[in-house]
A and B are shown apart, each in its own frame.
Chain A
Amino acid sequence: MRNRIFVYALCLAMLNLASPQVAQAALVGTLQAVEASGTRAQDLALVNSALAREQVRGQMEAMGVDPSAVDARVARLTDSELRSLADRMEQMPAGGDALAVIGIVFVILIILELVGVIDIFKKT
């Protein structure tokens, strides 16, 4: 009898060991809980992370990121970051240029000069 209980317990333990991902999937991660408490939205995507990961990977390669660096860059992003990038990578603000602004101001000044609104490039 004692042996039988021992065998049952052993079987149970082995079942547990054999299917770690099933048990693991049942835990709510901290970040997931943070997101859930920040929203009451029904459409909170809890399962689309794998898809988003693939989309971001593809977009990064299409945007010229060195393929050898893509995996590492994707791996560091959180699930919610991946989802927002997957949706909006083309539109998200990509900070890059300050110098172009000076150009724009210059173009506007030239236009204003040409149409005679201002007169700052006068030679005489």
Chain B
Amino acid sequence: MPVSTVSRGRAWAVLALLLALLLLVGCAGPSRLAQLPAELPERVELTATPFYPQTEHQCGPAALATVLGAAGRNADPAALATEVYLPGRQGSLQPELAAAARARGLLAYETGPSLSDLLVEVAAGRPALVLQQLGAGPWPYWHYAVVIGYDKARGQLLLRSGTDARQASRASWFESTWERGGLWGLVLLEPGTLPARPDPLRYMSAAAALETAGNPDAAKAAYAAAVALWPKAPLPRLGLGNLAAAAGDWAEAERWYRAVLADDPAQAAALNNRAEALVRLGCPDAARMLLQQGTVHVAADDPLQPVLQQTVRDLSAQVAATPAGAAAQCTQFTVR
């Protein structure tokens, strides 16, 4: 019937308009590019960044090869695909991209969730891998690209994207696609180098992941840089202690844990690990005493409480089986 055809046509029109609006909504509103801090230069373009045009669905490997190349680790996108491409999803997942960079000895640092967090790294010479959501509504299209620069005056972001060697995106459009992509940006650093705007937790998370990658030397360099920047922070020193422990140097490990606790006795991880180190050094009594005096400082809802309680139980079993009398070298640990 004609009436139903018209109303169906009208419904399509409304749907199409809605979709178009969803796509274009990012173009409205002012860009935050104009509000970037003055410390950021007017214009940046990292022209030396290599370019690997993507083949079908392969923007993950291509974008990864781009940032790896800029960090001095040349890699072939086709070879990278065997490391990061998921055929069943026709794409690549963020953790696998970071893991591939870590496997090459690079610190994969997630930038903060603001445009200025992202561009401050670009301005420092590091192209940033970003995730954009280019689709709309029921058709989300996720896309990886690499930000290589920006131009404040023109309101543009410069990207290596897909088959575009140099894409000049309207800043407001980029921001909206980046925001819908989860405000995710990744920069690759040589371990020992700090990001331009380091966040302690994100930095330590990236550094510790280097241990998972089987690269303790890289992790050590990253922790050491963090200790230099945040001398009082517990996690970097805990990391150095753990690396010493993994290498079998329990005396050095114990010193790092002790240093952490001296600044903050509520650090459950350092407390737990120091007790373990003391046991390894042949001083279970000192370990037991440490826990007796130390656990009161740890919050009841600390996520590490279960681990700590387990150590307390293990230790009481161990101490019961140990002949009484602490060795002479243990007295240094019991003096408080």
Contact = CB atoms under 8 A, between A and B. Distances in A.
B237 to A, nearest CB: 10
A78 B142 CA distance: 23
Given A23-B280, A40-B301, A81-B95, A30 B90 contact: no
A79 B213 CA distance: 12
A28 B86 contact: no
A111 B301 CA distance: 57
B229 interface: no
Contacts of B279: 23
A98 B12 contact: no
B214 to A, nearest CB: 8
A28 B269 contact: yes
Residue among B86, B242, B273, B306 with most chain A CB within 10 A: B86
Interface in B268-290: 268-269, 272-273, 276, 279-280, 282
Interface in B50-103: 54, 56-60, 63, 82-83, 86-96, 98-100, 102-103
B204 A30 contact: yes
A71 B143 CA distance: 26
Contact of B311 (A16, A26, A39): A26
Interface in A32-65: 32-42, 44, 46, 60, 62-65
A94 B32 CA distance: 27
Interface residues of A, number: 62
A93 B133 contact: yes
A95 B131 contact: yes
Contact of A95 (B15, B17, B59, B269): B59
B323 interface: yes
| Band of interface residues on B | 35 or more
A36 B96 CA distance: 22
A9 to B, nearest CB: 8
B157 interface: no
Contacts of B239: 30
B322 A12 contact: yes
A73 B242 contact: no
Interface in B174-190: 181-182
A30 B238 CA distance: 7
Given A27-B245, A36-B304, A96-B57, A117 B16 contact: yes
A34 B12 CA distance: 51
A96 B268 contact: no
B209 A78 contact: yes
Given A30-B235, A34-B235, A46-B307, A98 B141 contact: yes
A112 interface: yes
Interface in B1-44: 9-10, 12-13, 15-17, 19-20, 23
A21 B158 CA distance: 51
Contact of B90 (A85, A93, A94, A115): A94
B93 A94 contact: yes
A45 to B, nearest CB: 10
B160 to A, nearest CB: 12
B201 interface: yes
Interface string A66-95: 100100110011110100110001101111
Contacts of A37: 201, 234-235
A34 B272 contact: no
Contacts of B235: 30, 33-34, 37
Contacts of A5: 323
Pick the most buried of B15, B99, B207, B310: most chain A CB atoms within 10 A of its CB. Answer: B99
Given A29-B211, A76-B102, A85-B95, 9 more contacts: A22-B314, A29-B208, A30-B219, A35-B205, A76-B100, A95-B142, A95-B143, A97-B57, A101-B134
Nearest first, the 8 A-B pairs at minimum CB distance are A63-B88, A96-B91, A94-B91, A64-B87, A94-B89, A33-B269, A31-B208, A95-B144
24 contacts: A26-B310, A30-B204, A30-B242, A32-B269, A36-B302, A37-B234, A40-B303, A69-B82, A73-B99, A78-B208, A79-B212, A93-B140, A94-B142, A95-B143, A98-B162, A100-B139, A101-B134, A101-B141, A104-B19, A104-B139, A111-B12, A112-B16, A114-B12, A117-B17
